[in-house]
Amino acid sequence: MEITLQVNGVRRPVDVDPRVSLLDLLRERLGLTGSKKGCDHGQCGACTVLIDGRRVLACLALAVAQEGAEITTVEGLASGERLHPLQAAFIEHDAFQCGYCTPGQLCSAVGMLAEGGPSAVTEELAGEPELTAEEIRERMSGNLCRCGAYPNIVTAIAEVGA
Amino acid sequence: MKAFEYARAADPADAVARFRPGAMYLGGGTNLVDLMRLGVAEPGALVDVSRLPLGGVEPDGDGLRIGAAVRNSELAAHPLVRERYPVLARAVLAGASGQVRNMATVAGNLLQRTRCPYFQDVSKPCNKRQPGSGCPAIGGDHANLAVLGHSRACVATHPSDMAVALAALDARVHITGPGGDRVLAMPGLHRLPGDEPHRDTRLEPGELITAVALPAPPPGASHYRKVRERASFAFALVSIAAVLDVGADGTVADCRIALGGVAHVPWRAFHAEQALRGSRAGEDAFVRAAEAEMAEAVPLPRNAYKVPLARNLIVRTLLELAP
């Protein structure tokens, strides 16, 4: 089926089989291999991208259902040579080891910082909670890091979110 | 993944018209796409209902009307839900991850399938996936499966947190379909397994959930608590949605209790509620109520821990809610 997506600001008309996930479309057809395939079951977060500004799992999104959507992958976070503040903070705070989960962590953190509202660990449902380390850990629980770089990931996100 | 035809519906009537045997409706896809990849679901066609004009969370008389396509994250963050139905906001926030809540719809959350390991493994028999093939969970890995209302055919649990809160709130599920429109009151959307565990709900083929309506918020304090194996992004071992209203004389005027992780349905604890109403609020009454509910539990060898866990969760939560 023919669909048209906006990927990192570029119009991308593609002809896709309905079975193709957004993740496979990005990686195998559009050459954007920054988004990673970890579990392919929505449990690890390595494939996290932004659709219309919201963080989602590209492995569970059928490409054919995204007609007209604006997709941002990790390749679209920087402005030319200028890194996104989260990318810079991840480097500054050594927030990764092997780096496989990093594109998903970055896209997830970008989406998370734009979300607001309460989380499962927020005491009061009204108002906007302070972005404590506990809040960051809960809000980022959909992104696993098998190297265990969590402390520095939290530090990097806290710096940008402050 | 088996090949399927894909069509995007323009409105609910169009979606129903496009439905035919073997088709499935596609919402956020967080469960269905995974089940298709696993080979558990093999629809011949997907009718995409994720962009139908079924959004919005709006006042509805004294209550609230929630569109079927509203994303879980939007529901939990909505000011009216946070202010008037905090137990619902808490339940939704307790489920899944930020990414999944951004994708998953209200209707899809209600209609998600069990996470029983045998249901999700096509190399194993499963009466829910393949009627008549048997239930290896009963003699196998059932540590996280049902202790209430199960059958010799199936011991699966319903995995939703949101549905537990909706069951406690007397939510009404609005449905359209080939036979017209109708309404099912929670917890009656879902059904116990009996000898037809392949049927999770009372929906007929082609029926589509269009909205969930909440009556006025019940009086009293409410809470959602969830016990799970890790602090976040895990299904409940046992969860509870509770609302408790204690009168000036110290007796229970009204209460609502629903349990998750214990049955094929979000389990409304009617026995506990009946025992509580009119009794003096306090630990004695709460223990009696919890034990009245769990008296009908039939645990399996490896999930018997859920019975005292559910009992203690009911007592502890009510104690926190009592003035």
On the question of pLDDT at B99 being above 90, the answer is yes
Q: Is residue B176 part of a domain?
A: yes
Mean pLDDT, range B272-285, rounded to an integer: 98
How confident is the model at residue B237, as a pLDDT?
Answer: 98
The residue among B197, B214, B231 that closes a domain is B214
Mean pLDDT, range B172-188, rounded to an integer: 97
On the question of pLDDT at A116 being above 90, the answer is no
Q: What percent of chain B has pLDDT over 70?
A: 100
Are residues B95 and B25 part of one domain? no
Q: Is A48 helix (H, G, I), strand (E, B) or coil?
A: strand
CB contact under 8 A, A18 and B4: yes
Contacts of B73 in chain A (CB under 8 A): 54, 115, 117
Are residues B197 and B73 part of one domain? yes
Are residues B283 and B191 part of one domain? no
Please enumerate residues of A whose Cβ is less than 8 A from a Cβ of B: 1, 17-19, 21, 40-42, 45, 48, 54-57, 60-62, 64-65, 67, 108, 111-112, 115-120, 122, 125-126, 137-143
| Candidates A1, A3, A15, A19, partner chain B, best to mutate (most B CBs within 10 A) | A19
Q: Is residue B240 part of a domain?
A: yes
Q: Is residue B146 part of a domain?
A: no
**B196 phi/psi in degrees, rounded to 5:** -130, 60
On the question of pLDDT at B255 being above 90, the answer is yes
How confident is the model at residue A45, as a pLDDT?
Answer: 98
Are residues B74 and B101 part of one domain? yes
Are residues B179 and B271 part of one domain? no
Q: Is residue B272 part of a domain?
A: yes
Q: Is residue B197 part of a domain?
A: yes
Are residues B95 and B193 part of one domain? yes
Task: Find tokens 């962009």 and name the residue.
Answer: B51
Read off the pLDDT band of A75 (50, 70, 90).
very high
Q: Is residue B65 part of a domain?
A: yes
On the question of pLDDT at B270 being above 90, the answer is yes
Are residues B308 and B192 part of one domain? no
How confident is the model at residue B297, as a pLDDT?
Answer: 98
Interval B128-167: pLDDT, tens: 999 999 999 999 999 999 999 999 999 999 999 999 999 9
The residue among B195, B214, B233 that closes a domain is B214
Are residues B206 and B101 part of one domain? yes
Mean pLDDT, range B175-204, rounded to an integer: 98
How confident is the model at residue B249, as a pLDDT?
Answer: 97
Q: Is residue B151 part of a domain?
A: no
Q: Is residue B122 part of a domain?
A: no
Are residues B300 and B246 part of one domain? yes
Read off the pLDDT band of A127 (50, 70, 90).
confident
Which domain does B191 fall in, by range?
57-111+159-214
Are residues B34 and B73 part of one domain? no
Rounded to two decimals, the ipTM of the complex is 0.98
pLDDT averaged over every residue in chain B: 98
Report the C-alpha gap between B176 and B14 in whole angstroms: 11
We report the CATH number of the domain holding residue B102 as 3.30.465.10
Mean pLDDT, range A61-77, rounded to an integer: 98
CB crowding B173-189: b at 16 or more within 10 Å, else e: bbbbbeeeeeebebbeb
Facing B34 at nearest CB: one of A1, A42, A115: A42
Question: Among candidates A150, A76, A43, A4, which has minimal Cα distance to B115?
Answer: A43
Are residues B250 and B299 part of one domain? yes
On the question of pLDDT at B19 being above 90, the answer is yes
The residue among B177, B196, B214 that closes a domain is B214
Read off the pLDDT band of B178 (50, 70, 90).
very high
Number of domains in chain B: 3
Are residues B274 and B176 part of one domain? no
- What are the structural domains, with CATH classification, of chain A? 2-76 (3.10.20.30), 85-161 (1.10.150.120)
How confident is the model at residue A118, as a pLDDT?
Answer: 97
